[in-house]
Structure 1
Amino acid sequence: MTQANINQDARSMPDLLLVASKLSKRFGGLQALSDVSFSICKGDIYGLIGPNGAGKTTLFNVLTSLYVPESGTCNFMGHQLTRLKPHEIAIVGIARTFQNIRLFGSLSAIENVMIGRHIRTRAGVWGAITRNKSTRSEEAAVEQRAHELLEYVGIAHRANDVASSLPYGDQRRLEIARALATDPTLLALDEPAAGMNASETVVLRRLIEKIRNDGVTVLLIEHDMKLVMGLCNRVLVLEYGKVLAEGRPAEVQRNPKVIEAYLGAGSAEVAVGVSA
């Protein structure tokens, strides 16, 4: 995708939410990303797939300012993400989860979600010290919102349980609830189905669809090809840090380059159930 294509997309799609152009990232002698360009529209469930080592998580980390790219730009609702710090990324409206669950294991489920919510609060150090009426009211609202989000993801009955004691699937949903507590416009999920059984994955799919239907755009890294192809409306395929293909799931599945990347030269088709 050229810069001209990106600019044309921006003019032709009024609901364009994020535009990445020629993002590149190197670690020593390893070129992790090379001129990666793509765009996401409001209301998308946008899939990011590729073989192991393709650069998917590196791209996520660039988008959320954990890594600074050597070159390229990423515009999100008028904000140049490559100029922001990680906490500023959350403020402008992007929240993410991680491939490896990063909960506060010794805190309760509701406390984990409340921590995520505090990015939208106004009480400062003085309010915390004086415990004035405004601060108390705000904290009550934070706790109420945390309860609502636990209900939303289906684990309200575990609100007071220590996060580390929750079943694996519930921990994944708790991490999503904490991300939603920041009121994101774009929710970036890094392999949310990893380690889940079939029934847990079905529940996850319904949750992601509900999140999108409620107005939050989703960017999804996932190895479960059945989930990606059945859930996403557009898919970006990376290989060795470069864009291999981009388009609707059916188009991507039929792309000879994608077939070769996943199944090797000479393979005729990508099976829906193939795992990256």
Structure 2
Amino acid sequence: MGIELLQQDHYRIFDQTTLGAAFHATQSFAMDDTLCASVATEGAAMRAWVHHKTVVLGIQDARLPYLEDGVAVLETNGFTPVVRNSGGLAVVLDEGVLNLSLVLPERGGIDIDSGYEAMLALVRRMFANETSAIMPGEVVGSYCPGTYDLSIDGKKFAGISQRRVRGGVAVQIYLCVTGSGSARAALIRDFYAAARKDAETKFVYPDVVPETMASLEELLGIPLTVGDTLLRAYQALIAMNARLIPSSLTETENELFGANWNRMLERNKKALG
């Protein structure tokens, strides 16, 4: 079912990889909600995005007993925390991390696994000439562990999540393209150490082991850039006969985006103060 989901007639393309440090992660999550709401009429979309020195926290992270101490660790290291509006736990975003969102119409229903399989199929096609070893499955010791972690030789380089809104599904992935995967993981390890300490918590937070994570550049042993990796995604979709249409939000979508962004800002104000 994953391949079938990828085979859309066209994709509206939203490239937000070069907007710079002023592009805030709250805008990204508002964008995906907006595209989900319009995908039934406007067609499938792929959005590419990069954020500078941001740690995206999950809803459960915002409930950590010593959250303020954890946030202080992030800020001391130059990172800005943002609380997402979907599931999952803390992840690191920086200039070496490419995020992709596939926004698909939920015509006839898309089950959870099919959405994940679609993104897995896309990533495997992107790197088919370099490796056949990209595997899904939880990598214990990584940050934001899940069934659809993507790894090579047991080291995680990506994680997939989903967001469902008003008849649309946004399948989101972060791809650690360049830089040190273990350094990113060490930051999250230190965040949890400060935000949880030795307190008993109902929710089980990961014990992060930095050595379980790496970037694609480290794993494949070839020079990569975020731009080159995005080009691979475009080529994979074109190879499945999809038309790629560079796009911007319609007037109606812009109005909805504003409302969604305000909602994200309120969520973060409440969670982080």
Which TM-score tier does this pair reach, normalised by the shorter chain? Answer: under 0.3
Higher relative contact order (CA 8 A, sep 6+): 2
Structure with greater helix percent: 1
Tell me the TM-score normalized by structure 2: 0.28
| Greater radius of gyration (CA) | 1
Per the normalisation by structure 1, the TM-score is 0.28
